[in-house]
A = this chain, B = another copy of it.
Amino acid sequence: MQQSQSTAEVMTLRDKEYKCGIDVTLALVGGKWKASILWHLAQDTMRFSDLQRQFADTTRKMLTQQLRELEGDGLVHRKVYPQVPPKVEYSLTEQGKSIFPILEMMCDWGSNYLKAANTP
């Protein structure tokens, strides 16, 4: 209420409208793998194959796709080494790093929620 009502303006990002910063954040990291990817990259720059190993239960295609979107949104930096076979390193941009505290809280909150849910 205070947020969107007081400004009364709609926020737009890539042709989509958002009433509130929350929706923007969710649009950026709400994908099925994005938050986890950011979480992992926060600890280390990683090669594509490293990420594949971490996310063994998804496909190369999904990883590529999510990474490209994160890159397009300025949260992840993609560095290609011009060599064969290819070498590509992913790391967080400053903006990507800035979301880490939120991810941390989400991680803790989710764990605590489950703990509470599983101890009736």
Copies in the complex: 2
Query: Judging by beta carbons under 8 Å apart, are B110 and A40 in contact?
Result: no
- Chain A binding site: helix, strand, loop or mixed by DSSP? helix
| A48, CB-defined interface residue at 8 Å | no
Distance (whole angstroms) from the CB of A64 to the closest CB of chain B: 20
With A and B bound together, what is the CA distance between A43 and B20 in angstroms?
15
Which residues from chain B contact A19 at a C-beta distance below 8 Å? 36
Number of interface residues of A (CB under 8 A): 46
Q: Would you give 16 A-B contacts (Cβ < 8 Å), ordered by A?
A: A1-B54, A1-B56, A11-B110, A20-B39, A21-B106, A21-B109, A21-B110, A21-B111, A22-B35, A22-B103, A25-B107, A25-B110, A25-B113, A26-B106, A102-B106, A105-B105
